[in-house]
């Protein structure tokens, strides 16, 4: 006996799948075939032109983390890069810290090192809270750290310097930073408002990466429970797939898309 037999469920998993990452992967696959990318860009009314030899489509976009991993210039360069981007009020103090103390200042306890400036993805809000009393400096550090942890679902680089950033949801709503209870307590104590996931994407793409970006919030149906950033254009899944060619796709993909078409 198994749960499918008990429920008398004999259809394929694709008929009930609610995983938005799976749907995003299907969408990513379809964008790579035929003329579908151009069709989608026309559907959303993008102003960007495709530069063929610079075009790239990326699932789970982690550009900033890969940039950091590719830095070869050493610790002095990494420190200067961080301080140039953050412009902290105590910059001179941070310039003179040892590597260990610099990492410790930003709360990188789980990756504390005396040899290497560690990635900001390893910084800890709960640990650096006590070191950064100024709210403006504190929030800049938080947003910078979150950019290293954020991974927009799909990013279409129409050129090296222009992109369409897509956040794909199915039943879930926009994520909120911070997400951990201890971090929420810190933000409440400091009287700092929470920040939406889409705002962090904008900060990542435009201010940290310097990429001119159009934003798409891809959802199943419009609901007042969603939180919308003004820079993001709302597109329904069935609208996104409407003009795409899927005749050569496996049946399970066609059935997934048909479910979207039949949604309320």
154-159 and 195-196 beta bridge pairing: unpaired
List of residues 6+ apart from 124 with CB closer than 8 A:
106, 107, 108, 109, 110
d(CA 57, CA 27): 11
Mean pLDDT of 119-143: 96
Using 50, 70 and 90 to split pLDDT, how confident is the model at 111? confident
d(CA 99, CA 235): 46
**Rounded mean pLDDT of the chain?**
92
Domains of the chain, by residue range, sit at 1-61+151-179+186-264, 71-149
Using 50, 70 and 90 to split pLDDT, how confident is the model at 209? very high
Q: What integer pLDDT is reported at residue 225 of this predicted model? A: 45
d(CA 237, CA 241): 6
Q: What integer pLDDT is reported at residue 109 of this predicted model? A: 83
Using 50, 70 and 90 to split pLDDT, how confident is the model at 4? very high
Please write down the HEC assignment for all residues of 130-147.
HHCCCHHHHHHHHHHHHH
**What share of the chain in percent tops pLDDT 70?**
95
d(CA 172, CA 80): 38
Select the more confidently predicted residue: 11 or 225. 11
For the purposes of burial, counting CB atoms within 10 Å of the CB of 166, is it exposed (0-12), middle (13-18) or buried (19 or more)? Answer: buried
pTM of the model: 0.91
């Amino acid at each position: 006996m198994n749960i499918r037999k008990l429920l008398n469920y004999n259809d394929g998993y694709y008929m009930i799948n609610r995983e938005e990452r799976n749907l995003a992967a299907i969408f990513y696959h379809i964008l790579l075939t035929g003329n579908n990318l151009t069709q989608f860009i026309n559907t959303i009314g993008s102003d960007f032109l495709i530069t063929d030899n610079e075009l790239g489509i990326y699932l789970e976009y982690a550009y900033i983390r890969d940039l950091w991993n590719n830095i070869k210039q050493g610790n002095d360069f990494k420190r200067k890069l961080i301080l140039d981007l953050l412009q902290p009020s105590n910059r001179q103090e941070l310039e003179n810290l040892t590597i260990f103390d610099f990492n410790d200042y930003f709360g990188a306890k789980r990756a504390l090192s005396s040899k290497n400036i560690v990635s900001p993805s390893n910084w800890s809000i709960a640990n650096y809270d006590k070191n950064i009393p100024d709210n403006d400096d504190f929030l800049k550090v938080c947003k910078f750290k979150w950019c290293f942890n954020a991974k927009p679902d799909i990013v279409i680089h129409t050129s090296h310097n222009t992109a369409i950033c897509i956040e794909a949801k199915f039943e879930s709503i926009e994520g909120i930073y911070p997400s951990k209870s201890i971090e929420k307590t810190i933000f409440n104590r400091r009287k700092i408002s929470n920040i939406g996931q889409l705002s962090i994407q904008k900060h990542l793409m435009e201010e940290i990466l310097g990429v001119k970006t159009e934003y798409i919030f891809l959802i199943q149906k419009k609901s007042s429970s969603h939180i919308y950033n003004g820079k993001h254009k709302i597109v329904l899944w069935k609208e996104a797939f409407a003009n795409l060619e899927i005749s050569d796709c496996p049946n399970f993909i066609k059935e997934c898309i048909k479910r979207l078409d039949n949604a309320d």
